[in-house]
Amino acid sequence: MSGPDTSGAPAAPRFDLPEPDPFSRPYWDAAARGSLLIRRCASCGRAHHYPREFCPHCWSEDVTWEEASGAATLYTWSEVHRNDLPPFGAQVPYTAAVVDLAEGPRMMTRIVDHPADGLRAGMPLRVTFRVLGEGAPAVPVFRPCSGGPSE
C-alpha cells in the first residue's frame, strides 16, 4: 500500500533542488520570471557563470548581475541512462550538457525537447526553465532553436 508518509520520518534529501541563499536569491528570482542572470566584472569586463561574489578571472569583487540573452551553443553532451542517486534514477534518460552562453561563460545544464542522437556541437540553443516540484526554484535548461538566428 502506498500513500503519503505519515511516520514523521524526514523526507529523503532532494539532490536536484537548488538551495537559494541571500547571495543567489536574485538569480533564482529571475529564473522564476523566465530570465537567466550571469555576473559581469566591472574591472576586467568578463562575464562568468555560476554566480560568485568575485570575478574568477581577475579576482575583483566589483561584479554585478546582468541579464543574459538566453542564447547559447552546444559545446558537449552526454545522454544519461543510469543514475543511482535519487531522484535522478526516475528521470533517465536525460541529456546532460555543457553550453557556451552568447556572453562567453560555459554552463552545465540539460538539453530538453530534443533526442540526444540529433544533437551536434555548435548547435544553437535557447534557454527555457523547468520547475522541479511545487515550491521549487525554476532551473535553466536549454532546447535547440526552432527558428532563425533571432530566436
Q: Is the pLDDT of residue 148 over 50?
A: no
Joined grid coordinates for residue 132: 522541479
Domain ranges of the chain: 25-144
Averaged pLDDT, 113-134: 92
Amino acid at the residue 99:
V
pLDDT at 4 (0 to 100): 52
Q: What is the dihedral of CA 74, 17, 80, 126, to 10 degrees?
A: -20
- pTM given for the model: 0.84
pLDDT at 140 (0 to 100): 96
pLDDT tens-digit series, residues 53-81 = 999 999 999 999 999 999 999 999 999 99
Tell me how far apart the alpha carbons of residues 89 and 80 are, in angstroms, rounded to a whole number: 10
